[in-house]
Structure 1
Amino acid sequence: MFSFNIDHKDPQSSARAGVIQTAHGEIQTPIFMPVGTAGTVKAVHQHELETEIKAQIILGNTYHLYLRPGIEILQQVGGLHKFNGWNHPILTDSGGYQVYSLGNTRKIKEEGVTFNSHIDGSPHFFSPERAIDIQRIIGADIIMAFDECTPYPCEYGYAKKSMEMTHRWLARCCERFDNTQGLYGYEQTLFPIVQGSTYTDLRIQSAEAIAAFNRPANAIGGLSVGEPAEDMYAMTELVCGVLPADKPRYLMGVGTPVNILESIALGIDMFDCVLPTRNARHGLLYTAEGILNMRNAKWKDDFSPIDANSPCHSSRFYSKAYLRHLIHSSEILGMQIATLQNLSFFLWLVTEARAHIQAGDFRAWKEMMVPKLETRL
């Protein structure tokens, strides 16, 4: 069921517009995927994701869903789609990044990773096979291979050793995935993940190894973990030059609006990041004219709309002064309005990028947009 077709290519960059087909519908690329870690995108209803934000695909997380509500519940209800009522595509991260973020509480061996729950400290074990089994039960349309995300900075020797283990884990993921086709009744696609930190030779080796598995799509991990943006772009461009051009490329955990536009220009099709939702809860808003900090006193008596040009109704309806009041009062509605603004803007941004790729003027549009997106209003 999974397929990818490229409709247009930008003549002055590596940007492309395409369509991914999944069992739960199509995804027009380039696309930003709102993060719904524990089965929900924070502060928004599913109908708002559809009508206000216009999300085409959302993310869930294997580690968090495994701990709560637990795979027994998800298996009983028939998967995450039925549990949360989202009838469009879902992607699940394997939990590798979350295990990475647990720091010293994890122990990594060839067999897999032992870690303690961040909820109650209870011990758990994830192997590549276990990560696939859990994602099979969750039932996402796209599932990720279990990998190790290395930190930045990272010594060359460790990055190389980790990358090689990630490749061995991928072989085990693929074997388990292929041997469990149809077991739970879901149509799913497995994405391998390129690693290698910020080392050119390792990134090339990893991209070549991942491409050799010949899966329907590929992901790039281990970036946006603290490295300079120039390094992230350099590694992304390098890897995109190796990965098959006729398959979707997913840059994991990226990023800011500027990061997204620059990476689209390098040939990336899919993005996710917690930034728009996390920053919204702190009153930081993204707009086509720049970034607004709604905690600033300058908005106290500004009764103009939050974003008069936003596709989101609440951003056109409520004023900056009102939103500032809500944020300062720690009202839940303030977090909700801000989240709707940020996610609808991120989806608007990739939709506009797609339109300009189709029109053949993406590069010029990007160069006009980037300075605006970096402006602090």
Structure 2
Amino acid sequence: MTFVLQHTDNASDARTGIITTDHGQIKTPIFMPVGTCGSVKGVHFQELCDQVKAQIILGNTYHLYLRPGLEILKVAGGLHGFSGWERPILTDSGGFQVFSLTGIRKLREEGCEFRSHIDGSKHIFTPENVMDTERVIGADIMMAFDECPPGQSDYQYAKQSLGMTQRWLDRCIRRFDETAPLYGYAQSLFPIVQGCTYKDLRQEAAKFVADKGADGNAIGGLAVGEPTEVMYEMIEVVNEILPKDKPRYLMGVGTPRNILEAIERGVDMFDCVMPTRNGRNAMLFTYNGTMNMRNKKWEMDFTPIAPDGCEFDKIYTKAYLHHLFKAQELLAMQIASIHNLAFYLRLVSDARTHIELGDFVPWKNSIIDQLGKRV
């Protein structure tokens, strides 16, 4: 994997670049639709390519390990071969999912023992077998196995957690270096910066990660309940240290406003379930703000969902989408998911354009408040 930094904004740390993988190029800043179990819920790959303009999607190690399982994935040639998706894939390590299984997991130095949320069967994730699992899944970008501590962790717990995450990272790197890709194309490993909301821990973590010289680096453990301004402060602290010539991935973030603020602070890559999850619950994201399509105000509105949006936005009216949600038709969730993903991809594409034009900050400031309003 290579990363070429193309433009840097004069008034901020916003930048554009191109990531090149064996499955294609990714223009940054980029939003990555979440395909937890090997699919982006309710959206065909053709729609992801043609309407959403997705350049890369995510898979999740925890879920794919449990279903369909490693044997099937390996015989199929990894997630690319199994699913038919021909563009780049990134896999989360599954750490966040495992550590969210409160009450059915045990954490120790070796790794994390947990019970499947599907059938209660017992499993263990270690840095070594997570690397092996991600090799089998075959993602272009693999994430290191880390602990994602609760957002409100006290300092002592956060420090202990970070120490273990750093020891696990060393084990991940060793395992990654002593194994090879299985399907004839290269894979990259991204470390993850943790440290909760403690500046000194975030600085320590960023320095530790930067010294590894990885192809790219991630910022984890944010947008988990801390105030928004604290999240932005932690991004600034970390990005002062992470190398500028490598892509920076902010994990699990967030709203359109979060994304623009993080781009301004030098982040290149984003993922979040919000566009599809909120879409399935009738919320649409637009440049004018958010719309709840179950509200009666849309019942007689026969204008297109978004005349300047993707093809689906121009075909379907607000009244029709309102009707579909009221009637609990599956098509409603599909249309809303495609709309939201297409909007997120358009947002980062527009950000890229304004960084290139040199007016990113005034453009961002002109729309940031409106993005958070309810229409």
Decide: shared fold, TM above 0.5: yes
CA distance in structure 1 between the partners assigned to 2:169 and 2:82 by the alignment: 29
Contact 2:202 2:234 in 1 (8 A): yes
Question: Which residues in structure 2 correspond to 1:1-377 (within 5 Å)?
Answer: 2-310=1-309, 312-377=310-375
3-state DSSP class of the match of 1:271?
A: strand
3-state DSSP class of the match of 1:69?
A: coil
CA distance in structure 1 between the partners assigned to 2:182 and 2:260 by the alignment: 39
3-state DSSP class of the match of 1:233?
A: helix
Contact 1:136 1:186 in 2 (8 A): no
Shift of 1:216: 1.2
CA distance in structure 1 between the partners assigned to 2:99 and 2:318 by the alignment: 38
Letter in 1 for 2:150: P
Contact 1:38 1:61 in 2 (8 A): yes
Q: 1:182 to 1:302 in 2, by over 3 A?
A: closer
CA distance in structure 1 between the partners assigned to 2:275 and 2:293 by the alignment: 14
Which deviates more from structure 2 when the two are superposed, residues 258-267 or residues 364-373? 364-373
CA distance in structure 1 between the partners assigned to 2:138 and 2:208 by the alignment: 27
Identity of aligned residues (%): 59
Q: Deviations over 1:318-364 (max 9, x none)?
A: 11111011111111100000001000000000000000000000001
Shift of 1:184: 4.8
3-state DSSP class of the match of 1:104?
A: coil
Q: Deviations over 1:221-278 (max 9, x none)?
A: 0001111100100000100001011110000000000000000000000000000000
Q: Deviations over 1:89-125 (max 9, x none)?
A: 0000000010111112111100000001011111110
3-state DSSP class of the match of 1:363?
A: helix
CA distance in structure 2 between the partners assigned to 1:205 and 1:330 by the alignment: 50
3-state DSSP class of the match of 1:103?
A: coil
CA distance in structure 2 between the partners assigned to 1:250 and 1:65 by the alignment: 22
Contact 1:90 1:141 in 2 (8 A): yes
CA distance in structure 1 between the partners assigned to 2:100 and 2:173 by the alignment: 25
3-state DSSP class of the match of 1:19?
A: strand
Shift of 1:182: 3.9
3-state DSSP class of the match of 2:68?
A: helix
CA distance in structure 2 between the partners assigned to 1:56 and 1:247 by the alignment: 18
Contact 1:34 1:274 in 2 (8 A): yes
Letter in 1 for 2:166: H
CA distance in structure 2 between the partners assigned to 1:110 and 1:228 by the alignment: 30
3-state DSSP class of the match of 2:12?
A: coil
Q: Deviations over 1:168-212 (max 9, x none)?
A: 000000000000024553310000000000000000000001111
Consecutive unaligned residues in structure 2, runs of 5 or more: none
Q: Deviations over 1:258-304 (max 9, x none)?
A: 00000000000000000000000000000111110001111111111
CA distance in structure 2 between the partners assigned to 1:273 and 1:307 by the alignment: 22
3-state DSSP class of the match of 1:208?
A: helix
Shift of 1:143: 0.3
3-state DSSP class of the match of 2:185?
A: coil
Letter in 1 for 2:359: D
Letter in 2 for 1:348: R
CA distance in structure 2 between the partners assigned to 1:331 and 1:67 by the alignment: 30
CA distance in structure 2 between the partners assigned to 1:56 and 1:276 by the alignment: 16
Letter in 1 for 2:193: V
- Structure 1 residue ranges (4+ consecutive) displaced by more than 3 angstroms after TM superposition: 182-186
Contact 2:138 2:182 in 1 (8 A): no
Shift of 1:152: 1.7
Q: Give the CA RMSD over aligned residues.
A: 0.7
3-state DSSP class of the match of 1:83?
A: helix
CA distance in structure 1 between the partners assigned to 2:101 and 2:350 by the alignment: 37
For this pair of structures, how many residues does the alignment match? 375
Contact 2:138 2:181 in 1 (8 A): no
Consecutive unaligned residues in structure 1, runs of 5 or more: none
Letter in 1 for 2:374: R
CA distance in structure 2 between the partners assigned to 1:100 and 1:58 by the alignment: 23
Contact 1:56 1:89 in 2 (8 A): yes
CA distance in structure 1 between the partners assigned to 2:283 and 2:267 by the alignment: 26
